[in-house]
Chain A
Amino acid sequence: MTNISSSAASAEIEGPIVPQAPQAPEPKAKPAWRSLNFGPRMWVALGMILFVVVLAFIGPLFYPYAPDQKVGGLYDAPSAEHILGTDNFGYDVLAVLMASTRNSLINGLLAGTLAVLIGVLIGVVAGYVGGWLEEALMGITNIVLAIPAIVILILISMSLQSTDIPFLKGIVGLALVIGITSWPWTARAVRAQASSVATREHIDVAKLSGARTPGIMVFDVLPYLASYIVMAWVLQLASAILAESTLSMLGLGPSGTNSLGMQLHWALAFQAVAVGAYWAFLPPTIVLTLISFALLYLQSSLDEVFNPRLRRGKKKDLARAAARRAEAARKLAEQIEGRQEVTA
């Protein structure tokens, strides 16, 4: 270990091996986040998501009515006091809507995050390590992928209804179930990317530096997959919310709790459509559509953020820049008059 230090100290190296030249002062480097380009689409998507989040979490703090408070009769039409009327239980629809949105979002977050965690773990290990481990993991992935998710979800959630463990009964239980059945898509996508990153030179350099496999996977492979993981996470959120809504609407969700799907379930059960009580099923549908659309829109705008080639500048910015350049050209033309010509 002391070979280099001692020999460098004792050897007569005449001056620097590589001659130095005076360096011009460098401009300050821009912080990394500034180079990310947040386009208008992203802000629109974030705005929609923010609206839903405020509805779900802030709304109840200001709204006078509780979701389990009987305030009227069966399907009272919207009025000044109850903007969205009452549902089949006589509860204020808006209050129930806020509560359901909150539960659906929590479910989406739990299930989506769980799915991404499992998918990334399996994908990175399979993609980086390769060999028989990759075959085995991808085999499992394909099996889970092939079985119709809805069937598993129905079966598991039915058995969950009869469980004794309290926390599994509600929205958390369902989120767990959705999480452990929807990871294959992420796993496949991540595996393909991890497998490609594993062939890059910095991995070889890491190995030569003595780094071990777990360390390489976490520090040399994972960061390069960051954009994929973020986009996969957003998609998993959206699909988890929709999966829960489907189940609940079919009556297979946690019956005790409110969720967007449950609201639709009750609307179906009490024939809100036939009766003409649009306020019972339209609001949850709109919110569900809004949140799914917002998440998918966010995902497509993130593509722009991570992939600079897709960026399109705003028309007026380009026009302004062109005008600036025309001005610079005129000034330059004046300067050129006085300069001597170069003939190559």
Chain B
Amino acid sequence: MSGILMRASNVTAVYAAATGQDVPAVDNVTVEVPEGKILGLAGESGCGKTTLGNALAMIANPPLYVVAGKMEIDDHEIDLSTLARNSNEVHRGYRGATVSLLPQGAMNAISPTLRIRDLVVDVMRAHDRNTTKADALDRATDRLKMLEMPVRVLDQYAHQLSGGMKQRMVTVISTLLNPALLIADEPTSALDVSSQKALIEMLLAMVEKRIMRGVIFITHDLPVLSMVTDRLAIMYAGKIVEAGPTEELVNNARHPYTSALLSSVLDPTEETRTKHVLGIPGSPPNLGNPPTGCRFHPRCAFAMPECSLKEPQFLHERDHSVACWWANDHAFETVPMEVNEA
């Protein structure tokens, strides 16, 4: 496992729906985070990326059950499944200290009656009851100075801070214990572009200073991912459809879904001004009753007969992997964009 910080294999997580049926939100997914790098997890609503984040952070709660999965991190091998009676005790040791989750909407979940420093003390004490207030605050102060953030924020209440500052503070607090891996779920979604940029810069600085040794950045926003990630994995309907170095994926997408997502990106450039994009027809499948074979085939412009019959096997081209029958037939070819133009 040289050069790899964390490897999670065969993760499967299901939701117990009210109808009694179990819906697999994450289906046999394997991810790797290289040491000192940021992995981006991209996909649209319902693809399972948040569920995967929760499963990896070991905080899955009923009605979400992690049915299978193994995590290898730092010479530890952890069973991610939440079915065993003692799974909670096992996971508790790693939660927050080895793998830390920064959930979506964390910045709005700060208790309005606490000052930031009280929150810091609470979080530190939750892991080690013997931490003194002074120690906790010292640690926080040092961290803020290291990241060039104003220390006076510790004395303020959440409502006194701007959205961007709140998000940066929760990011700092969730990493005070120097977790090996930080999983950040949509950290930039509710922020203005300037706050977004500040948060991204802070995350990159934190990785460079080895506060965390790896980050999984979950979002649907591809331009943000191209700014912050080294590696990118695209999820669709609970499965990973393509993964590879960010630059390669953006310039040479091998899966039709990735290509469609990329062409749907609207950034203020000359290209956006002149292009006409059709979007992707249809809507994501019902995970309780997914399409046969490749889950994307009903919406795919390149669908071939075998796509509806067999689930695609993975094709590995160096460090770029893709699960697609069309890609299999067109080795190393980028998905053409013409079909998307009107």
Q: Is A–B contact present in the complex under a CB 8 A cutoff?
A: yes
Cβ B12 vs Cβ A342 within 8 A: no
Given A318-B62, A332-B68, A342-B321: A26 touches B240 (CB 8 Å cut-off) = no
Contact bitstring B149-184, A, C-beta under 8 A = 1, else 0: 000000000000000000000000000000000000
| Chain B at the A interface: SS class | strand
Contacts of B68 in A (CB 8 A): 329, 332-333, 336
Cβ B32 vs Cβ A24 within 8 A: no
Chain B binder among A1-9, A14-22, A299-307: A14-22
Question: Does A79 make an interface contact (CB < 8 A)?
Answer: no
Contacts of A326 in B (CB 8 A): 83
Question: Does A328 make an interface contact (CB < 8 A)?
Answer: yes
Alpha-carbon separation in the docked complex, A120 to B10 (Å): 56
Alpha-carbon separation in the docked complex, A26 to B231 (Å): 36
Q: Which among A21, A26, A318, A342 is the interface contact of B299 at CB below 8 angstroms?
A: A21
Contacts of A23 in B (CB 8 A): 282, 298
Cβ B281 vs Cβ A339 within 8 A: no
Question: Does A310 make an interface contact (CB < 8 A)?
Answer: no
Cβ A24 vs Cβ B243 within 8 A: no
Q: Which among B28, B29, B291 is the interface contact of A24 at CB below 8 angstroms?
A: B291
Contact bitstring B2-42, A, C-beta under 8 A = 1, else 0: 00000001101010101100100000111110000001000
Question: Does A343 make an interface contact (CB < 8 A)?
Answer: yes
Q: Which among A18, A22, A325, A344 is the interface contact of B279 at CB below 8 angstroms?
A: A18
Given A342-B314, A343-B30: A332 touches B22 (CB 8 Å cut-off) = no
Question: Does A322 make an interface contact (CB < 8 A)?
Answer: yes
Q: Separation in Å of the B235 CB from the closest CB of chain A?
A: 9
Cβ B321 vs Cβ A343 within 8 A: yes
Contacts of B62 in A (CB 8 A): 318
Contact bitstring A302-344, B, C-beta under 8 A = 1, else 0: 0000000000000000100110111011001100100111111
Question: Does A35 make an interface contact (CB < 8 A)?
Answer: yes
Cβ B314 vs Cβ A340 within 8 A: yes
Give the contacts of B60-86 with A (CB-CB under 8 A): 62, 65, 67-68, 81, 83
Contacts of A340 in B (CB 8 A): 313-314
How many residues on the A side are at the interface (Cβ–Cβ under 8 A)?
28
Contacts of B314 in A (CB 8 A): 340-343
Cβ A328 vs Cβ B67 within 8 A: yes
Q: Which among A21, A332, A333, A344 is the interface contact of B32 at CB below 8 angstroms?
A: A344
Cβ A336 vs Cβ B28 within 8 A: yes
Question: Does A212 make an interface contact (CB < 8 A)?
Answer: no
Q: Separation in Å of the A3 CB from the closest CB of chain B?
A: 25
Question: Does B233 make an interface contact (CB < 8 A)?
Answer: yes
Q: Separation in Å of the A158 CB from the closest CB of chain B?
A: 51
Question: Does A27 make an interface contact (CB < 8 A)?
Answer: yes
Contacts of B16 in A (CB 8 A): 321, 325
Q: Separation in Å of the B259 CB from the closest CB of chain A?
A: 16
Q: Which among B39, B81, B278, B289 is the interface contact of A344 at CB below 8 angstroms?
A: B39
Cβ A343 vs Cβ B316 within 8 A: yes
Give the contacts of A19-43 with B (CB-CB under 8 A): 19-24, 26-27, 30, 35
Q: Separation in Å of the B26 CB from the closest CB of chain A?
A: 12
In which size bucket is the chain B interface? 35 or more
Question: Which A residue's beta carbon lies closest to that of B19?
Answer: A30
Contacts of B289 in A (CB 8 A): 24, 27
Q: Separation in Å of the B310 CB from the closest CB of chain A?
A: 12
Contacts of B19 in A (CB 8 A): 30
Question: Does B285 make an interface contact (CB < 8 A)?
Answer: yes
Q: Separation in Å of the B154 CB from the closest CB of chain A?
A: 33
Cβ A342 vs Cβ B32 within 8 A: no
Cβ B278 vs Cβ A329 within 8 A: no
Contacts of A339 in B (CB 8 A): 28
Q: Which among A21, A325, A344 is the interface contact of B29 at CB below 8 angstroms?
A: A344
Alpha-carbon separation in the docked complex, A332 to B29 (Å): 13
Contacts of B112 in A (CB 8 A): none
Contacts of A332 in B (CB 8 A): 12, 67-68
Cβ B321 vs Cβ A344 within 8 A: yes
Question: Does B113 make an interface contact (CB < 8 A)?
Answer: no
Alpha-carbon separation in the docked complex, A98 to B280 (Å): 69
Cβ B65 vs Cβ A325 within 8 A: yes
Question: Does B286 make an interface contact (CB < 8 A)?
Answer: yes
Give the contacts of B102-144 with A (CB-CB under 8 A): none
Question: Does B211 make an interface contact (CB < 8 A)?
Answer: no
Cβ A325 vs Cβ B14 within 8 A: yes
Contacts of B18 in A (CB 8 A): 35
Cβ B288 vs Cβ A322 within 8 A: no
Cβ B233 vs Cβ A344 within 8 A: yes
Cβ B281 vs Cβ A325 within 8 A: no
Alpha-carbon separation in the docked complex, A336 to B28 (Å): 8
Question: Which B residue's beta carbon lies closest to that of A341?
Answer: B30
Cβ B67 vs Cβ A344 within 8 A: no
Cβ A21 vs Cβ B22 within 8 A: no
Q: Which among B30, B32, B65, B278 is the interface contact of A19 at CB below 8 angstroms?
A: B278
Contacts of A341 in B (CB 8 A): 9-10, 30, 314
Cβ A325 vs Cβ B83 within 8 A: yes
Q: Separation in Å of the B56 CB from the closest CB of chain A?
A: 12
Question: Does B323 make an interface contact (CB < 8 A)?
Answer: yes
Contacts of A324 in B (CB 8 A): 22
Given A344-B31, A344-B32: A329 touches B81 (CB 8 Å cut-off) = yes
Q: Which residues of A contact B (CB under 8 A)?
A: 18-24, 26-27, 30, 35, 318, 321-322, 324-326, 328-329, 332-333, 336, 339-344
A sample of 28 inter-chain contacts (CB < 8 A) reads: A18-B279, A19-B281, A22-B282, A24-B289, A24-B291, A24-B298, A321-B16, A322-B65, A322-B83, A325-B14, A325-B22, A325-B67, A325-B83, A328-B14, A328-B22, A332-B12, A336-B28, A339-B28, A340-B314, A342-B30, A342-B239, A342-B240, A342-B321, A343-B30, A343-B243, A344-B30, A344-B31, A344-B233
Q: Which residues of B contact A (CB under 8 A)?
A: 9-10, 12, 14, 16, 18-19, 22, 28-32, 39, 62, 65, 67-68, 81, 83, 231, 233, 239-240, 243, 278-279, 281-282, 285-286, 288-289, 291, 298-299, 313-314, 316, 321, 323
**Which 3 residue pairs across A and B have the least CB separation, nearest first?**
A21-B282, A344-B233, A344-B243
